[in-house]
Amino acid sequence: MGIVNVTPDSFSDGGQFWAPGQGLDTARAIAHAEQLVAEGADILDIGGESTRPGAEPVSVQQECDRVLPVVEGLRHLGRPISVDTRRPEVMRQAIACGADMINDVNGFRDPEAFAVAVGAQCGLCVMHMQGEPQTMQDAPVYTDVVAEVTAFLMAQRDALMASGVQRERIVLDPGFGFGKTLEHNLALMRALGALSARQPILVGVSRKRMIGALMGVPSEPHERVSGSVAAALWAAAQGAQVLRVHDVRATVQALSVWRGLSGSGV
Ligand code: HH2
C-alpha cells in the first residue's frame, strides 16, 4: 500500500504536492501515485488530514477538496484506492467517488462512521488508537498492550460482522505510534503473528519515530528508508498482508529478495 498524503503537514511527506501560495497541486499528487503503482504498489492510500500530534485541524470540506479529486484522478489505474479518514462525511463522499477501501485510524468507533462502514460494500481498515491524535503520545498507558489492542480490534471486527459486514472486507491494524511508546510498539510487532492468524492485518511503520529510535542514530523521516524496509520485512514474516509504506520501490524489491530466499515465490 503506497501512501499519498495530500496534506501540507504530514510528518514525513507533508507539503510534497503543495505549490507556494496556491495550495494543493492535484496533478502532482496523481503523478506521484502513478509512480508508486509503477514501482509496484497494489493499493494506494490517500489521506487529507495529518494525524501527527500538533497537526492543523481541517474541515470536512477541506479534506474532501484535497482527497476526492485525487481519488477520481486515480480510478483509471484500476488499482484499489483506500481513503485514510476519520470523518463519516468524507467516507461517504469518498465511497461515492469510487474509493475501494476506508482506512479509519479511529477504528470506526464513531457510531456514524460505523454506520457508513456497514452500509458500504468497500474494504475497511480498522485501526487501534489510544486517545486522540493531539495528545495520544503524551503518556500512553496499558496494563497489557497486546491483549488490549487485540481485544479492541476483535471487538470492532465482530461488531461489524454482527451488523452484516463480510469478514473478507476487514483488515485490522494495531496502529503503530498511535498512543504507544516504543516498548508498546515493539510488543505489538512481536505479537503480529498471533493477530495475523486471526484476521488479515495491515502494518504501518514507514519512516515513523519508532524506526528512527531503533536505527540508533538521529534521523529525519526521509532518512529512515532502510530501517522502514527492515521493519516491513519483519511484519511480512509475521504474516502481515498489507504494508503501508512511503518507499514502495525499496519495499517491493526487498520483499522480492526475501520471497526468493524463503522459496515462497516472487
Ligand atoms: N499511520 C499514519 C496514518 N494513517 N493508517 C493506518 N491504517 N495505519 C497507520 O499506521 C497509519 C495510518 C501516519 O502516517 P502518515 O500518513 O505518513 O503521517 P500523517 O498522519 O502525519 O499524515
Q: How far apart are CA 139 and CA 180, in angstroms?
A: 8
Burial class (CB in 10 A: 0-12, 13-18, 19+), 65: middle
Q: Which of 32, 36, 51, 137 to mutate to test the pocket of ligand 1 (most atoms within 8 A of CB)?
A: 51
State in Å: Cα 35 to ligand 1 middle. 20
The neighbour count for residue 59, using CB atoms within 10 Å, is: 10
Q: How far apart are CA 69 and CA 67, in angstroms?
A: 6
Q: Is 103 in the pocket of ligand 1 (CB under 6 A)?
A: yes
To which H or E segment does residue 223 belong?
Answer: none
- Which set of grid coordinates corresponds to residue 57? 485541524
pLDDT, position 47: 97
pLDDT, position 13: 83
Q: Is 173 in the pocket of ligand 1 (CB under 6 A)?
A: yes
Specify the ligand 1 atom closest to the Cα of 176: 10
Q: Is 50 in the pocket of ligand 1 (CB under 6 A)?
A: yes
User: What are the residue ranges of helices labelled H in the chain?
Assistant: 26-38, 60-74, 88-96, 111-119, 145-162, 182-190, 192-196, 209-215, 225-237, 248-262
Q: Known catalytic residue: 244?
A: yes
Q: Is 47 in the pocket of ligand 1 (CB under 6 A)?
A: yes
**Residue 41: which of 211, 251, 213 has the closest Cα?**
251
Evaluate the CA torsion angle 12, 70, 93, 78 in order and state its sign: negative
Q: How far apart are CA 167 and CA 163, in angstroms?
A: 11
Q: How far apart are CA 159 and CA 179, in angstroms?
A: 23
pLDDT, position 265: 60
Task: Determine which residue's CA is closest to atom 5 belonging to ligand 1.
Answer: 105
DSSP letter assigned to residue 94: H
pLDDT, position 263: 87
DSSP letter assigned to residue 143: S
Question: How far is it between the farthest Cα atoms of the chain?
Answer: 52
Beta bridge partners of 44: 2, 81
Q: Which of 10, 85, 134, 247 to mutate to test the pocket of ligand 1 (most atoms within 8 A of CB)?
A: 10
Specify the ligand 1 atom closest to the Cα of 55: 21
Residues in CB range of 195: below 8 A, 6 or more apart: 150, 153, 172, 174, 201
- Which set of grid coordinates corresponds to residue 211? 524506526
Specify the ligand 1 atom closest to the Cα of 7: 22
Asked whether the whole model's pTM tops 0.85, one would answer yes
Evaluate the CA torsion angle 218, 253, 125, 77 in order and state its sign: positive
Tell me how many degrees the CA angle 106-108-111 measures, rounded to the nearest 5. 120
Residue type, 224: R
Q: Is 11 in the pocket of ligand 1 (CB under 6 A)?
A: yes
Sites in the chain below the pLDDT cut of 50:
266
Q: Is 85 in the pocket of ligand 1 (CB under 6 A)?
A: no
86, 180, 208, 209: which is the annotated catalytic residue?
Answer: 208
Specify the ligand 1 atom closest to the Cα of 9: 21
Q: Is 99 in the pocket of ligand 1 (CB under 6 A)?
A: no
Residue type, 240: A
State in Å: Cα 20 to ligand 1 middle. 24
Q: How far apart are CA 153 and CA 165, in angstroms?
A: 15
